Amino acid sequence: MTETRPTQTGYAEVNGARLWYEAAGTGHPLIMLHGGLVDSGLWDPQFPVFAQHYRTIRYDLRGHGRSCDAGLEPYSHIDDLLALLGVLEIARAHILGLSMSGAIVVDFALAHPEMVTALLPVAAGLSGYEPRAMPAPEIEQRFAEEEEALERGAVDEAVEISLQPWTDGTERGPERVNPAVRERVRQMTTALYTRGDPPSPVRIERPTATRLGEIRVPTLVIVGDRDLPNIREMADALAAGIPGARQAIIPNTAHHLNLEQPEEFNRIVLDFLAEQP
C-alpha cells in the first residue's frame, strides 16, 4: 500500500473541451470512467480506497458533471481520454469504465494497446455488437416513456423511469434496492438531463466486437446478475472474445453494481490489479 497524497482537482483542456478531473494517491495510474447517465461521482465508494494503492484519476466526460458541454462538433471519447493522459503525463495505465465507458475503454485498448496495462470493462457496452437477448417489451416501453417524458420537459418523471431498468434491474422492484443508491443515481441523472442531450461522439469505423481477439492485456469483465439481459450477454462476449479474460459476476446487483456492493466490487478490482506486474 502506498501513502495517499492530498486530492488534486482541476480542468484539462483537451480537443476543444474542458474536462474536470480528480487525482489522488501514488503508484501506477488507474483511470476510472463513468457511465453515460451519471458522472464521476459514480466512483465515490471507490476513489479513496483505490487511491491508497494507485495514482487514481477519475474525470467527468464532456457534457457530464463539471466538464463543459460537448459543443456542436463531433468528438471522440477515445481521443479525449488520450489527450487527458497526455495532459497528466501518463504513458501507461490501468483503465476501468462502466456501461458506455466500458465500451470506451475496450475501444481505447484496441486503439492504443501500448498504453493499457490492465483493462476492466464493467456492465459494459460493446461497439459493433448486436445482442441476441434484447430488452423485454416492457423495458422497451419504459425507454419510450422516458424519451417522451424528456420531450415534455418532465425531468423528474424521466429520471424515475430510467432508474427502473438500470438501477433496479431485472426481477427486482425499487423496494429491493438500497434507497441511498437510488437517490445517488437520481441526483446524477437529474443533473445530466437538465443539461440537455450532447451531440453523439464519432462512431468507430471498425466494430470492436469483431476485433476482441486482438486485445493482449490482462482483462477482468465485471457484471451484475440483475443487469439487463443484453448487458449480461455483452459481458459474456467480452470474456469469451478477449484472450485470457476473466469474468466476475456480483450477485443481487444491477447496472450500478459498484454502488450497490462497494466492498465486494473494491475487493474484486484490487485483487485483480494486485496480480499485475
Query: Residue 197 above 70 pLDDT?
Result: no
**For 229-242, what is each residue's pLDDT tens digit?**
999 999 999 999 99
pLDDT of residue 2: 45
pLDDT of residue 1: 47
Percent of the chain having pLDDT more than 90? Answer: 79
Across 121-130, average pLDDT: 94
In sequence order, the 6+-apart residues with CB closer than 8 A to the CB of 118 are 94, 95, 217, 218, 219, 220, 272, 273, 276
Query: Residue 175 above 60 pLDDT?
Result: yes
- pTM score, whole prediction: 0.93
Q: Which grid coordinates are listed for 176? A: 429491493
pLDDT of residue 272: 98
How far, in Å, CA of 252 to CA of 67, rounded? 32
Across 126-141, average pLDDT: 78
Across 248-276, average pLDDT: 98
Tell the residue number behind the cell numbers 457534457, with chain if given. 63
Query: Residue 33 above 50 pLDDT?
Result: yes
How far, in Å, CA of 119 to CA of 105, rounded? 7
Burial tier of 48 (Cβ tally within 10 Å: 0-12, 13-18, 19+): middle
Q: Enumerate domains of the chain plus CATH numbers.
A: 8-132+202-274 (3.40.50.1820), 137-193 (no CATH)
Q: Which grid coordinates are listed for 64? A: 457530464
Across 160-178, average pLDDT: 93
**For 5-21, what is each residue's pLDDT tens digit?**
678 999 999 998 899 99
Mean pLDDT computed over every residue of the chain = 92
